[in-house]
Amino acid sequence: MNKKATIIKRTNIHQTFYERSPVLGTFEVDEHVKVINEKLREGIVWYEVNYSGKQQGYIKKEDAFVWKSIKIESEEGGSFRHEKKDGSFEKIDFYKGEKMFITLPYTSSANRVRVMYDGNKEGMLYTTVKFSDAEDAWFEVLYWITFIGLILFAIVKMLEADVLIVSGLGILLLAVVAAVGTIITGILVFVIKEIFRQIKIRL
């Protein structure tokens, strides 16, 4: 897995992925940790993490937020304020196509997310800036390949049934296929994504 995460709730570091295992230490809120792997035991998902250098332990998944890689989609890019160690602020500009990490999740009570840019510049990004999930890019490709495949399959079947594509009936049938295909493709991609996630947890 090898990702970073932000601690969102004070949590104990366990020796193994089991609540009754010895406690090795504690992470405080807002600490950044390296997540190595995910493990599942008795319905609880655990993160295997690094602490105190190269030592390893386990924390509950619910106590941490794994950083989410995003790609800026706004044509005009944007900016945010980064607070330096001396308390002063630096304006950070970024442009369309650049990538950064969300280090704290969006909540319904806020219109900002906390982001990390260029490895060490953290600040609050207004959600008016458009961005996409960089990690799920291949799922989007899979979605469109599947959707186009369904449309082409429908067209072939309509031609085999001698239905004129440009006729009123042909257009109506294609519209129905497109609507149903959107739902089916979305469900299919979601299921595949979830299967991959569960496989990773159990490895």
Segments in 13-165 forming alpha helices (H):
137-160
- What tokens were used for 203? 């490895």
For 22, phi and psi rounded to 5 degrees?
A: -55, 145
pLDDT reported for residue 67: 92
| Integer Cα distance of 185 and 77 in angstroms | 31
**Domain-wise residue ranges, the chain:** 3-66, 68-129, 135-202
Of 148 and 171, the structure prediction assigns the larger pLDDT to 148
pLDDT tens digits for range 100-124: 999 987 655 567 888 999 888 988 8
Query: Average pLDDT for residues 131-156, to the nearest whole number?
Result: 78
pLDDT reported for residue 16: 94
Asked whether residue 166 carries a pLDDT value surpassing 70, the answer given is no
pLDDT reported for residue 23: 95
Q: Write the DSSP symbol of residue 22.
A: P
Segments in the chain forming alpha helices (H):
137-160, 168-202
Query: Average pLDDT for residues 168-185, to the nearest whole number?
Result: 79
In the CATH hierarchy, which fold is given to the domain comprising 3-66?
SH3 type barrels. (2.30.30)
For 168, phi and psi rounded to 5 degrees?
A: -60, -45
pLDDT tens digits for range 28-43: 999 999 999 898 888 8
pLDDT tens digits for range 67-95: 988 889 899 898 888 988 888 889 999 99
In the CATH hierarchy, which fold is given to the domain comprising 68-129?
SH3 type barrels. (2.30.30)
Could you check whether 3-66 and 68-129 share the same CATH topology? yes
pLDDT reported for residue 136: 65
pLDDT reported for residue 183: 85
